[in-house]
Chains A and B, each alone.
Chain A
Amino acid sequence: MARRNAFETVKVARRVKRPGALQYFERVFDGFVELRGDRTFADDAAVVGGLAWLGETPVTVIGTQKGTNIDDNIARNFGQPHPEGYRKALRLMRQAEKFRRPVITFVNTAGAFAGIGAEERGQGEAIAKNLYEMSTLETPIVSIVTGEGGSGGALALALADTVWALENSTYSILSPEGFASILWRDASRANEAAELMRLTAEDLLKNGVIDKIIPEAAEGADANFAFTADIIKKELLDVIPKLLAKDKRQLLDARYARFRKYGEFEEQS
């Protein structure tokens, strides 16, 4: 089939029917038990998480969840987390560290929510704290971008030992609309922005932002969910034992180095 251009990929990544974290929890793992709340303020339904079995291994699963209809979307704030969502994720990650359970995150969000309450409760601090703590979390972390990887709101769940992305997912500094609006003051040039932003899985693999592309059936992960979910399961079953076999120092040094490498610059003496 014909290759999609970048903005077509953005549209596939945003499809309402694109599977969310909860669907992956049910399909890829066994015995999912949902755990809620950040123990401080609230339970943010845009971020879901809990415990499950990956084969014979207990794991902690976390992800962003968009709604499947209007009511659900309102309850889940269209998958855009508030600070309490990030704090809930961090709580579950700390718990995973305590029991040395691997953490697997599924990211599909347009970004951290921009709102009054989100600012009042420290959206910036919540994201920063996740980056800070995840960088030394003493248990393996695998992150999979399954749809939209929207900026800091996605990164706050994706500082991992290995980061994967679905074939038709995107991961970018901002939405193409936002990018066009900031740089050219014209959100309608989103199509053009998408091309320039190198936000497709293929681009991300090329510049080392992700380590692996998870294939989708030609019609997309929404149309053939089993195809993609089964590949994810197979890949996780392969990588998790390898990450668990590393000692803590090795694991954290490699994670630090993974993010330490980003940047392109020149130096004059």
Chain B
Amino acid sequence: MNLFKKKQYVPITGSREGAPVVPDGLWLKCPSCRKAIYQKELGEFKVCPNCSGYFRLSARERLALVADEGTFEETDSGMASKNPADYPGYEEKLRKTSEAAGSNEAVICGFCEVCGNKTALAVMDSHFIMGSMGSVVGEKLTRLFEKAVEKRSPVIVFSASGGARMQEGIISLMQMAKVSAAVKKHSDAGLFYISALTDPTTGGVSASFAALGDVILAEPGALIGFAGRRVIEQTMKQKLPDGFQTAEFIMDHGFIDKIAERAEMKDTIGALLALHRGSCDGAA
């Protein structure tokens, strides 16, 4: 195993001296077992054929797995971040990230059908500044919950986020309060909310809307927790238990309802939505 660990920082795409040149992007390294996987072997669920570990999905990839084909209508797609805290280089970072990630923010919101059930759906994207929540993520989610109240629709949120967006400072922190209040409004209207946690769901997102679902689902092995591992290790000055802050750990401690494999997530959500059709009259 040490041999593998030492190789962690060796790029597995591109050329090495004396090795044949391999085009970029054909081989991907599994985040769990670190084995190089031929891209075409991954399939739409992006599950490692070697260890069954999950590759992180982009918001668009997730959307394709969850929403019924051709039903998704995006809301607030043109909303983009400004630089409220005048953080140096933030605009540049946003521009570069948008180009690389192919989206203009860390969440996509809209309305769609899942297994024939109408619902609001938000999908976060860890590829966009680690899915961090700033003004845009907070505003889009808040509007989605507010619109769902008007339409009497359930809401599904797929979280994938390192927490609040540092570059927007205290205004990012305030998004936790803003979105949580909108979730409460939705709940007080008697409407159904599924929070689906994916790798990673930490920090300010784990301490706001992600923890507030009527039903909370998670993908196997997902990192879920409030504080970062390094911070905890520093404060506790001890090694963390095996499997600490995984979906399985969080479920054992009573904070989520069910762990669903990626391939069964859509059907799980569809079944839950069907059970709540009576309470969300916009859902039929």
Contact = CB atoms under 8 A, between A and B. Distances in A.
Given A115-B232, A128-B209, A260-B142, A265 B81 contact: yes
Nearest to A80: B235
Contact of B178 (A112, A124, A259): A259
Contacts of B182: 260
Contacts of A215: none
A153 B139 CA distance: 22
A268 B80 CA distance: 8
The B interface, classified by DSSP as helix, strand, loop or mixed, is helix
Interface in A228-259: 255-256, 259
Contacts of B240: 116
| Category for how many chain B residues contact A | 35 or more
Contacts of B241: 116
B211 A128 contact: yes
A159 B255 contact: no
Nearest to B185: A256
Interface stretch (A57-65, A90-98, A166-174): A166-174
Interface in B60-115: 76, 78-82, 84-85, 87-88
A114 B232 contact: yes
| Category for how many chain A residues contact B | 35 or more
B206 A132 contact: no
B10 interface: no
A110 B241 CA distance: 25
A183 interface: yes
A269 B166 contact: no
B58 interface: no
The 3 A-B residue pairs with the shortest CB-CB distance, nearest first, are: A114-B227, A263-B135, A135-B181
Interface of B: 76, 78-82, 84-85, 87-88, 135-136, 138-139, 142, 164, 166-178, 180-185, 187-188, 203-204, 206-212, 225-228, 231-232, 235-236, 238, 240-241, 244-245, 253-255
